[in-house]
Amino acid sequence: MTQPEAPTLPAKERLILDLLVAHGSLYGLELVERSAGALKRGTVYVTLGRMEAKGFVTSEREKLPEGAIGLPRRHYRATGLGERALRAWSTLAAELRLVVQP
Amino acid sequence: MTQQQGYAVPGRALLGLIRLVFDDDATDLIFEPALADLQHAVNVAGARRGRRLWVLVREHAAFCKLLVIALTMPRAGAGAPLTALLLGRHSAGSLLLLVPVLYLGLSWLFAGFVAGSIVAGILMSFAIGSWNRRHPSIVARARRDTNLKDPEINISAVPVGGDIGGFFFVVASSAVALLGVPGLRVFVISAAVAGLLMAWARVAWIRTHDGPAVNHVVGR
């Protein structure tokens, strides 16, 4: 029997989850600004799209006021699965640090 | 979002182009949020012309980078990698649009090169077409009274014997291959040496026999 493939959690996705867990809900540009240069405007949306496909984040369009023009921004928040993945990664990283530096 | 008075909303034309190329999921999840944030950043920049222009350039450069990444990365939410996306949906038309976009997305330094290539290519195509109308090419064709197929593209009919243009073409294309793919150097140099040896052997054989063989394809 084959095991279902475990979702991966690369560094940028961990950072995004960290920021979303800490701040609740953020727009793409806010994530870029709060990452202190670790996330770029040109790549953050691709990463967010991939994370949404994995089920780590969820997003909603903002509600525009009456008569507003332009596209509604999308704000993101971490899902339960995303938070669990982040916790599991943090635990694993702590365990590995203990193994490397007992 | 409230928009600054007197300015058009940026990104509308871009979104139209994106919808032509990408699927709905990629448009909704990647490009619309990016353009919404672009519009927000431009709006926050205010009405000061210099500041607004700088934000417009910066945000569009970031958007070009996003476009390149979405096109080239499989499973980026764009539905398919570049080749499948382009060739599967809009074929050559998309390539014509997207190749310059790719260059511009990689670096604004390519902008002059891309614009120059497009203009030079269009001018050259008109010049070649005009020349060909006044000096039509004579292409060797198979006799119609045989059952053989018409060769149509007949490489052996291209007059390269003693043609310095052909020589330059070979040297230049070899140089491009050597510069572009260093791993081919051994192959290209070996092929050149082998070709020279074969040419020398053929000339020697023709001199000791009854002259050059007749090219039956060109001679038809």
Give the percent of chain B with pLDDT over 90.
Answer: 0
Statement to judge: residues B90 and B164 lie in one domain: no
Name the domain boundary from B101, B123, B151.
Answer: B101
**Is B197 domain-assigned?**
yes
**Is B133 domain-assigned?**
no
Q: Which residues of B touch A (CB under 8 A)?
A: 1-3, 9, 11, 15, 26, 29-37, 39-41, 43, 59, 61-66, 69-70, 73, 75-77
Decide: pTM greater than 0.80. no
Name the domain boundary from B101, B120, B141.
Answer: B101
**Is B188 domain-assigned?**
yes
Q: How far is A43 from chain B (nearest CA, A)?
A: 6
pLDDT at A93 exceeding the cut of 60 = yes
**Is B60 domain-assigned?**
yes
Name the domain boundary from B101, B118, B150.
Answer: B101
Statement to judge: residues B19 and B91 lie in one domain: yes
Statement to judge: residues B16 and B92 lie in one domain: yes
| Chains A, B: CB pairs < 8 Å | 89
pLDDT for the residue B220? 42
Span B62-76, mean pLDDT? 73
pLDDT for the residue B8? 63
A70 → closest Cβ in B33, B36, B66? B36
**Is B81 domain-assigned?**
yes
Of the pLDDT bands very low, low, confident and very high (cuts 50, 70, 90), residue B109 is: low
- Give the domain extent around B196: 159-208
pLDDT for the residue B219? 44
Q: How far is A34 from chain B (nearest CA, A)?
A: 15
Highest-confidence range of B10-24, B115-129, B195-209, by mean pLDDT?
B195-209
Of the pLDDT bands very low, low, confident and very high (cuts 50, 70, 90), residue A87 is: very high
pLDDT for the residue A71? 87
Structural domains in chain A plus CATH codes: 11-61+72-100 (1.10.10.10)
Mean pLDDT of chain A: 86
End-to-end CA distance of chain B: 74
- Judged by CB atoms closer than 8 Å, whether chains meet at B36 and A73 is answered as yes
Of the pLDDT bands very low, low, confident and very high (cuts 50, 70, 90), residue A81 is: very high
pLDDT digits (tens, 9 = 90+) for B158-184: 555 555 666 777 777 777 777 777 777
pLDDT at B209 exceeding the cut of 50 = yes
B65 → closest Cβ in A29, A42, A52? A42
What H or E segment, with its residue span, contains residue A65? none
Asked if the interface predicted TM-score (ipTM) of this complex is over 0.90, the answer is no
Statement to judge: residues B17 and B93 lie in one domain: yes
- Judged by CB atoms closer than 8 Å, whether chains meet at A74 and B33 is answered as yes
**Is B176 domain-assigned?**
yes
B30 → closest Cβ in A49, A70, A71? A49
Q: Which residues of A touch B (CB under 8 A)?
A: 27-29, 40-43, 45-46, 48-50, 52-53, 59, 64-65, 68-74
Considering only CB atoms, which chain B residues are within 8 Å of A53?
29, 75, 77
pLDDT for the residue B135? 74
B51 or B209, greater pLDDT:
B51
What's the total number of domains in chain B?
Answer: 2
Give the percent of chain B with pLDDT over 70.
Answer: 58
pLDDT digits (tens, 9 = 90+) for A42-77: 888 888 988 988 899 999 988 888 877 788 899 999
B6 or B55, greater pLDDT:
B55
